A and B are shown apart, each in its own frame.
Chain A
Amino acid sequence: MTTIDPTLVGRSRTARASGAGTRIRLASAAVLGVLLLFAIVGPIVLADPAAQALDRYLEAPSLAEPLGRDEYGRSVLARLAHATRLSLLLAGLCVGTALLVGTSAGILAAWGGGWIDTVLRSVSEVFVALPALLVVLLVAATADGGIWALYVGIALAQWVEYFRVVRARAAVVLGSPAVEAARLLDLGWLHVVRRHLWPGLRPLLVTLASLGMVTSILAMSTLGFVKVGLQPPRAELGLMVTESFPFYDVAPWLCLAPVTVLFVLTICFLGLRRTDVA
């Protein structure tokens, strides 16, 4: 999504005690840690996610195979681990790129002003009106189920969020008396970035990044679901949902496993954002 969800980014609710907010963030971080561990250790420990065993078609969950096997007799747990790793890795890469590009452009626009600001702002105006899914679909059309298309598309759609927020915030910080004093003292731009800009921007960026992770993970699985994202046999959460849906009647756990992971991932990243940031 190229526009910021204003209510999710900055809502200051005095009614809620900040203690509850901290607890929610801690719980989210803990669950996310478990999923992260699953995504890192799972693919190493578990069996090959592509190994088929056609005689064990749609096997029900058991102790040895906690999530059962899918229509090709592949281990659902192993596939899930690979899919989770892929989602987290690719989303992290997209968010990192968008954050770097958007933040640098935002600071550049706020610092440089003049024509730099005008050019960057006009470019961002165009991207704001462009739905992320559209960008990703168009980029995905250039390459068959390539990871690169997904990466470029999602990052391209997201940088503008960081740009707009950082530009607005950086302009306020750079115009503050503290920065003016630092300039008069000739402390250099590195000092201004480290001591004034970064502390002012960090909480905003944390919130935006955790929202960006949600958006990226959902975008990936959505594209997989409409079959224009990554292609089978790659294990991907959205693809796993589509593939298992025809077997819902006989093997509902197939469908539930990726849906649960997807839902828990997004809820955790939503819980991680700071609700007290203005």
Chain B
Amino acid sequence: MGVLIPAAGPARVARVLAGRALQGLGVAVLVSGLCFLVVQRLPGDIAYRIAAGRYGYDLVDAEAAAGVRAELGLDRPVWQQLLAWLGDLLQLDFGRSLVTHQPVLSEVGYYLTGTLQLAAVALALAVVIGGTIGTAAGLRPASAIDRLTDLWVATVRALPAFLLGLLLILVLSVHLDLLPSAGHGGATSIVLPATTLALGLSGLVARVTRDAVVEVRQSEYVRFARTKGLGERVVLVRHVARNAVSVLVPYLGVQAVVLVEGVVVVEALFSWQGLGHALVHAVFWRDIPVLQATALVLALLVVAVNAVVDLAVLWLDPRPRRQAVTS
């Protein structure tokens, strides 16, 4: 970061961060508003429910429910309740899980680590797999490798994450008995979920890398590098790969949404202790505090990844700034 900020210009960095912060705020309000809607639409009178929780089902009468309603302000108009709800959100007051009765914040912290581990490993794997395939295809356009890459991209796009995961479980855990199919234990348990996610993401990475490599290889600076007698390997590493990466990185931001969706499915499938797993169970159990917190963190994760990608793009490719200064 120390190198990053002076290179990109603090004003630009600040503008990028401010834009993303605004986006994050909008996302938070939307997700929280949807959760509020969930609560409003729950069957039954919520005041009776809470009163029953407090005093026991035998002691609930209309009077107790009315007391709860007055105390919690449930008789206010809906928009006032929504404002109070959003106020709680601003104070980071997520309450306690309705199922485990733990404070939601500490639970979410635990799940977030699991998700981040999984996402990081998957992203790295996807870049390695997709980057290798894409570079191989881009070096020989219209060859057999290129056509195979096309097929790979289409297949991966058409296979939903849960089918890919099932396929891997069948082959690697059931038939070959190499890896554990589920759980959150030893070091091997991350292999299957991460591979499932990575294969899904590798399609787009391969496609973008391929197109970038083809384009960069036709550029004048690559032709010049060859003309001045650089070996093919040096040209690939120094000139082609470096420039192709600056094209690829913005697409990783686009992939953040896909990554989060994949995380939800893959975690549920492999029972990996992460936010997606918690989210699906919260929906299942109607555990609203956990539902709101996990959905919020997952959505903000997308914004955060995009902010990082924005900064990385500024750092990798500072050209627009220079243009703005000179023109």
Contacts and interface: CB of A to CB of B under 8 A. Distances in A.
A138 interface: yes
B96 interface: no
Interface stretch (B47-55, B79-87, B203-211): B203-211
B261 A142 contact: no
B30 interface: yes
Interface stretch (A84-92, A192-200, A217-225): A217-225
B141 to A, nearest CB: 6
B303 interface: yes
B291 A141 contact: yes
B230 interface: no
Contact of B141 (A1, A15, A142, A222): A15
Interface stretch (B5-13, B35-43, B59-67, B110-118): B35-43
Interface residues of A, number: 47
Contacts of A228: 280, 283-284
Given A2-B257, A227-B284, A135 B34 contact: yes
Interface string B274-304: 0000011001101000010001001100110
B142 interface: yes
A272 interface: no
16 contacts: A7-B208, A127-B30, A131-B258, A131-B264, A131-B298, A133-B265, A134-B298, A138-B34, A141-B291, A225-B269, A226-B264, A241-B163, A263-B158, A266-B159, A267-B154, A270-B154
A259 interface: yes
A218 B156 CA distance: 12
A127, A143, A221, A266: which has the most chain B beta carbons within 10 Å? A266
B280 A1 contact: no
A180 B11 CA distance: 38
A3 interface: yes
B280 A225 contact: no
Given A143-B41, A228-B284, A241-B166, A133 B261 contact: yes
B161 interface: yes
Chain B CB within 10 A, most for which of A128, A241, A248: A128
A137 B260 CA distance: 13
A126 B27 contact: yes
Interface in B171-196: none
Contacts of B298: 131, 134
A132 B264 CA distance: 11
Interface of B: 22-24, 26-27, 30-31, 34-35, 37-38, 41, 141-142, 154, 157-163, 166, 170, 204, 207-208, 211, 251, 254, 257-258, 260-261, 264-265, 268-269, 279-280, 283-284, 286, 291, 295, 298-299, 302-303, 306
A127 B257 CA distance: 11
A267 B27 contact: no
A107 to B, nearest CB: 23
Contacts of B306: 129
Nearest to B300: A129
Closest 10 CB pairs of A and B: A126-B26, A266-B158, A133-B261, A7-B207, A138-B34, A218-B160, A226-B268, A142-B41, A131-B260, A15-B142
Nearest to B205: A7
A248 B211 CA distance: 41
Nearest to B169: A245
B162 A222 contact: yes
B279 to A, nearest CB: 6
Contacts of A126: 23, 26-27, 30
A267 to B, nearest CB: 5
B204 A5 contact: yes
Contacts of A3: 254, 257-258
Contact of A130 (B27, B142, B207, B254): B27
A7 B264 contact: no
Nearest to A2: B257
Contacts of B258: 1, 3, 131
A138 B163 contact: no
A142 B54 CA distance: 24
B157 A8 contact: yes
A214 interface: yes
Interface in A6-30: 6-8, 11, 15
B30 to A, nearest CB: 6
Nearest to B296: A134
B38 A134 contact: no
A137 B279 contact: yes
A198 B211 CA distance: 30
Given A131-B299, A131-B302, A227-B284, A138 B268 contact: no
Contact of A1 (B38, B261, B264): B261
